[in-house]
Amino acid sequence: MTAIPLTRTVGELVVDDPRRARVFEALGIDYCCGGKMPLESACLALGLDPKQIVERLATIDEDAPRDSDECAGMSLAELADHIEARHHAYLREELPRLEQLGGKVARAHGQGDPRLVRLAEVIESFSTEMQDHMTKEERMLFPSIRAFEDGDQPPANCFGSIADPIRVMESEHDSSGDALAVMHELTGGFDRSSAQCNTHLALLEGLATLERDTHQHVHKENNILFPRAIELEAARATTGDA
């Protein structure tokens, strides 16, 4: 059985083997925004037995076919391109649709269920924040990471270390995670049986997909792209190449 140290963070464990994300999602363990938490602490915070979770993860490691990790071996530039092409593009297409669905459901059924009105408000706020977040990444942070990896001077910016804007992005990830948690709670975990019409059903299905995609999106940034960019900057500083 594969030994999994309880001191490893949940984010590191998913980086090592992306199949573990499915276990963490099923248990409600946050491996993206909360990816820096050691496995033992994450389990205890939810009242889970760490030893049982390790056994479950080890069973998957040994018995389940390994998924191809599309991020393994990517350069920083390739990973940034991948995030933009897959996750940013998805959000730009999907968020307006979810806003429209949320508003329609709130108008039709909100009087009988105020949670639907609140849900529409949270979706709208989440959409606005994520659009701004992606713009900052695409115009400032990602170009700097690409240039830094190439050994070029990053584009003109107001930050001294690449860790500075990364901290801001991670803080915004925390905010988006909080919003998703509210959506999850307001919908009873996106429970389809609660749908009052087909539009409501489409909204619940869309939000469930949004949650899964955002978990993967934030994981790739918080646990792979950002740490590697910070490590590269530190290595360049040590060798005098920065």
Residue 141 lies in a domain: yes
Chain centroid to Cα 73, Å, comes to: 20
Instruction: Give yes or no: residues 44 and 158 share one domain.
Output: no
Convert the pLDDT of each residue in 40-62 to its tens digit: 999 999 999 999 999 888 887 66
Convert the pLDDT of each residue in 81-112 to its tens digit: 999 999 999 999 999 999 999 999 999 999 99
Instruction: Give yes or no: residues 39 and 91 share one domain.
Output: no
CA-to-CA distance for 235 and 230, rounded, in angstroms? 9
**Do residues 207 and 181 lie in contact, with contact meaning Cβ atoms separated by under 8 Å?**
no
Neighbours of 46 (CB within 10 A): 11
For residue 32, the model assigns a pLDDT of 85
φ, ψ of residue 9 to 5 degrees: the values are -75, 155
Convert the pLDDT of each residue in 181-229 to its tens digit: 999 999 999 999 999 999 999 999 999 999 999 999 999 999 999 999 9
Instruction: Give yes or no: residues 81 and 158 share one domain.
Output: yes
- State the pTM of this model: 0.80
Convert the pLDDT of each residue in 127-151 to its tens digit: 999 999 999 999 999 999 998 888 7
Tally of domains within the chain: 2
Instruction: Give yes or no: residues 58 and 81 share one domain.
Output: no
Pair of tokens at residue 48: 């889970």
Instruction: Give yes or no: residues 92 and 56 share one domain.
Output: no
For residue 241, the model assigns a pLDDT of 59
Cα angle vertex 144, ends 140, 145, to 5°?
A: 120
Domain range for 15 = 10-63
CA-to-CA distance for 154 and 81, rounded, in angstroms? 17
CA-to-CA distance for 101 and 207, rounded, in angstroms? 10
Pair of tokens at residue 56: 């479950």
